[in-house]
Amino acid sequence: MPFLLRALTLLTLVVALVACPRQTRRTLVPDVPQNGDASARARFAEARAKFLRDGRNGSDFRQIAEDFPDDPIVPWAELYAGIAAIKERKFEVAVKALAGVVERNTDPGLTLRAELFLGIALNYTGETADAVRLLKKAERAIENDDERTEFLAAFAYATAQGERPLASLAVFDELYRRVTPTERALIVARVEEVVAAADPNTLGRLFDELADRKGPSFAAMASRLALVADAAGNASEAARLREAAGPVRVAVGLPRTIGAAATAGAGSGDPSLVGAVLPLGGKQQRVADAAVAGLGLAAGISDGRGVAPVEIRAANDAGAAEIAVEDLARANVIAVIGPIDSASVDAAGARAEGLGVPLLSLSTAAEKNHTSRYVFHMVHSGEARSRALAQRALAKGVKKFAVLAPENGYGRAMTAAFTGELTKGGGTIVSSVTYKPDTKSFAGFTAKLTGDWDAVFVPAQADVLGLIAPALAATGKIPRPLGTKKVIGGRPVLLLSTAENLTASYLTDAGRHSQGALLAPGYYPDDRDPASREFLDRFIAAFGRAPGFLEAYAYDAAQIVVSAGGSGRAGLAATLARGELAGLTGAIRFDADHRRADPGVLYTVAEETGGVFAIRVSR
Which has the closest alpha carbon to 117: 103, 100, 89, 138?
A: 138
Q: Are strands 375-377 and 586-588 parallel, antiparallel or unpaired?
A: unpaired
Question: Closest Cα partner for 519 from 616, 449, 403?
Answer: 616
pLDDT at 18: 35
- The class (CATH top level) of 383-519 is alpha beta
CA distance 267 to 264: 8
Residue 158: its H or E element: helix 145-160
* Half-sphere exposure in the Cβ direction for 117 (13 Å, CA): 33
Q: Is 365 helix (H, G, I), strand (E, B) or coil?
A: coil
- Name the DSSP letter for residue 57: -
Least confident stretch, 40-54, 140-154, 259-273, 344-358: 259-273
pLDDT exceeds cutoff 80 at 373: yes
Question: Mean pLDDT, to the nearest integer, of 368-374?
Answer: 87
**Amino acid letter at 135?**
L
Question: Using 50, 70 and 90 to split pLDDT, how confident is the model at 182?
Answer: low
Q: Answer yes or no: is pLDDT of 66 > 80.
A: yes
Give the tens place of pLDDT for each residue, 277-300: 999 876 788 899 999 999 999 999
At 163 the three-state DSSP class reads coil
Residue 90 to residue 251: CA distance in whole angstroms: 36
Compare 407 and 1 and report the one with higher pLDDT.
407
| Identical fold between 1-163 and 274-380+537-564 | no
- The backbone torsions φ and ψ at residue 614, rounded to the nearest 5 degrees and listed phi first, read -140, 155
- Residues pairing with 477 in the sheet: 491
Residue closest to 7 by CA, chosen among 244, 326, 255: 326
For the whole model, what pTM was predicted? 0.66
179: DSSP letter: S
Classified by CATH at the fold level, domain 274-380+537-564 comes out as Rossmann fold (3.40.50)
Specify whether the CB–CB gap between 144 and 17 falls below 8 A.
Answer: no
Ramachandran category for residue 182: left, alpha or beta (phi over 0 → left; psi -120 to 50 → alpha): alpha
Instruction: Tell which residue, 207, 149, 138, 195, has the closest CA to residue 168.
Output: 195
Residues 6+ apart with CB under 8 A from 444: none
d(CA 84, CA 17): 8
| Chain centroid to CA 574 | 15
Cα distance between residue 71 and residue 84, in whole Å: 21
Residue 53, H or E segment: helix 38-54
Phi, psi at 527, each rounded to 5°: -75, 0
Using CA atoms of 451, 456, 460, 464 in order, give the dihedral in degrees to the nearest 10: 80
The burial class, CB within 10 Å (0-12 / 13-18 / 19+), for 592 is: exposed
Strands of the 310-314 sheet, one edge to the other: 310-314, 274-278, 336-337, 359-361, 375-377
> Residue 193: its pLDDT value, please?
79
| Architecture field, domain 1-163 | Alpha Horseshoe (1.25)
Q: Which pLDDT score, from 0 to 100, does residue 280 have?
A: 87
Report domain extents, the chain: 1-163, 187-266, 274-380+537-564, 383-519
**In whole angstroms, what separates CA 534 from the centre of its chain?**
29
pLDDT in tens, 471-519: 999 999 999 999 999 999 999 999 999 999 999 999 998 999 999 999 9
Determine the Cα–Cα distance for residues 210 and 205; give it in Å rounded to an integer.
Answer: 9
Residue 108, Cβ density class (10 Å: 0-12 exposed, 13-18 middle, ≥19 buried): exposed
Chain Cα centroid distance, residue 13? 25
| pLDDT at residue number 25 | 52
- Higher confidence at residue 195 or residue 470? 470
pLDDT above 90 (res 527) = yes
Torsions phi, psi of 397, nearest 5? 95, 5
| Beta bridge pairs of residue 512 | none
Residue type, 37: D
Task: Taking residues 109-118, report their average pLDDT.
Answer: 94
Mean pLDDT of the chain: 89
CA dist 314 and 278 (Å) reads: 5
Percentage of the chain surpassing pLDDT 90? 66
Higher pLDDT, 259 or 530: 530
Residue 259: per-residue pLDDT = 60
